[in-house]
Amino acid sequence: MSRPLCDYRRDRTQSRDPHDRSVRTIRLWVIFLVQLSAVSFIGREAVAQSAKEIELPITVRVDTSNSEILAVYHLWKNYLNSRPDSIYANPYWSEGEKRRYSDCDFARAWVYSSSSILHAYPPKLLSITQEDSAYVLRTLYYAENLEEPYRSSNPWAIQRVYARREGGAWKLFNPLPVLTKAWNRQQIGRILFVYSREDTLDVMLARQSARFCDSLIEAFGLPAIDTIEFYVTRHADDLARIIGLDFALGATMGRSNAFNAQVFSAFGTPWYPHELVHVLFAREFPTHFMLGEGIATWLGGAVDKSASELMKQLDAYLTEHPELTFEDLLDQPYLEGSTALYYAAGAVWCSETSRIGGASAVKRLLSHGTTADDLYAALKEILGLYRGNVMRALRERTRAIVTAVR
């Protein structure tokens, strides 16, 4: 889904060293926390400038005396000034890629994760270099004069994008098809697995993923997506790189793009149920963050843990913190340094809804929209909860689920 960096998680992936991966996951969350607060802080300063044109300074590696390079420079600058954070048929992007993918810039949701990001971290074009018939553009997103504690949350990213002629005009292209051109491809069920030539596909897990999708489509009556692209990498930096980020402050072990039916994993396996749930549900059911992550966590686990393990964590935390309100929880998705408790709360709502009304009720729960008021409306309609009772119900239902599975 389009939320930034929400997906440092997996469930039952085949880790050779689970402890190492857990540590890495925690570290990534810490980085993201700092990053989030920096964007929030800098973003406030930047909102006032958001109507200003994005300037695009260059380094000496951009030779604008070359007419083609100058044309490519203006193409990129025009793109950066045409709401690149929004999903629409951006005139500067390849027509071919727009026909195939509705969210044409695969790095969009990550690098432009808020409309003010380009003012918070102004872009600087590092280089334009020729590669076969294309030009490769590398852009640094960097904030000048940051103070502590935000100074280390900088730069935001280094982005790579390609420019080629298409129908006589210069257009922008994703790095993904170029960087994965020589990778292996294997279609299993409705999933096209793409993985590097050094790797072999774990076919058992790949089939498990395909069956997982089929079973959810059938159980929930979801639209049948013909092909889900599933990119398997072995490192967070490799994942970022094929999406188009040569450097990203908040590295992530997994991402999905429901608009394009794409999953990206850095865990080296073709099994990532949480992200597959996002691909199957997020486009059909644009819902509140808690419920969107809740359905993915309930059905696919999160953060190396199953939904039931996460609900146990939530139960223990709620018991230790009787003062915590539901508003607190909504305001602080990163309790205790991770989103695990927040996701678990969403999973509890989905589990409880399923218990009462089955798959159709779950779909109704997810159909109320994305705001906090929408979330409260959904809980009222489906579970009969008034605002004042929501936290008590969350505590009771979490305890009931945890007790039942013990």
* Residues of the shown chain interacting with Zn ion in the complex, contacts defined by CB under 5 A: 6-7, 293, 296
Choose between 6 and 402: whose C-beta lies nearer to Zn ion.
6
Q: Which is nearer to Zn ion, 90 or 256 (CB)?
A: 256
Shortest distance (Å) from residue 265 CB to Zn ion: 13
Pick 7 or 315: Cβ nearer Zn ion = 7
Q: Based on CB atoms, which residue is closest to Zn ion, 128 or 263? A: 263
Q: How far is the CB of 169 from Zn ion (least distance, A)?
A: 37
In the complex with Zn ion, which residue's Cβ is closer, 293 or 304?
A: 293
Write down the least CB distance from residue 199 to Zn ion, Å. Answer: 24
When the beta carbons of 131 and 336 are compared against Zn ion, the nearer one is: 336
CA neighbours within 13 Å on the CB side: how many for 212?
A: 24
Q: Kindly tell me which of 5 and 391 has the beta carbon lying closer to Zn ion.
A: 5
Nearest Cα residue to 138 out of 76, 88, 187? 76
In whole angstroms, the minimum distance from the beta carbon of 181 to Zn ion comes to: 29
Least distance (Å) between residue 343 CB and Zn ion? 7
Nearest distance from residue 6's CB to Zn ion, in Å? 5
For residue 30, give Cα distances in angstroms to 8, 205, 284.
11, 30, 31
- Phi and psi for 403 in degrees, rounded to 5? -65, -40
Nearer to Zn ion, 123 or 301 (CB): 301
Q: How far is the CB of 13 from Zn ion (least distance, A)?
A: 15
CB of 280 to Zn ion, least distance (A): 12
- The candidate with the shortest Cα–Cα distance to 282, out of 3, 87, 83, is 3
What sign results for the dihedral spanned by CA atoms 260, 266, 270, 271?
A: negative
